[in-house]
Amino acid sequence: MTEEEKNHLVEEATFSFTIGENDEAEKTLREVLAADNDYFPAWHSLAEVLFSSRRFEEARKAGLEALRLEPEDVHVFTSLSRIHMELGDKETAEKYGAQARMQGWKNELSEDSKQED
């Protein structure tokens, strides 16, 4: 499966998710992951679909896979924070929330330094 095909399928899954077809979105994302188990957008999207379906433990595992692939992604930290809140693990949720804020600041500083150049 090409990068373009994977991107297209993730976009299709996002559309399905947006119109409330979580099962279809999950099926499409799993198809992408079967072709490329290290495809970050599919793991992060799957975490969000599973979260929306209230399958929090599965969402946590998908989020951790996304984090493994992109260990500095602010959106993954935010997703994991929300997931852990639903799992009742406030301490871990706060840890991921803090990491999201720190990464956000880091990104802002990086953008500011690029604009100064």
Residue 111's pLDDT is what? 73
**According to the model, what pLDDT value does residue 112 have?**
66
User: What's this model's pTM, rounded to 2 decimal places?
Assistant: 0.88
Rounded to the nearest angstrom, the gap between the alpha carbon of residue 21 and the centroid of all alpha carbons in its chain is 18
The structure tokens listed for 46 are: 């799957």
Segments forming the whole domain that contains residue 23 = 3-116
Give the dihedral sign, CA 104/65/28/93: negative
Count of the separate structural domains present in the chain: 1
Token code pair at residue 76: 């993954």
* CB-based contacts of 109-115 (< 8 A; 24+ apart in sequence): none
Q: What CATH code is carried by the domain that includes residue 110?
A: 1.25.40.10
Tell me the per-residue pLDDT of 95-111, one tens digit each, with 9 for 90 and over. Answer: 999 999 999 998 888 77
| CA pair distance 82, 92, nearest whole angstrom | 10
13-58: pLDDT as tens digits: 999 999 999 999 999 999 999 999 999 999 999 999 999 999 999 9
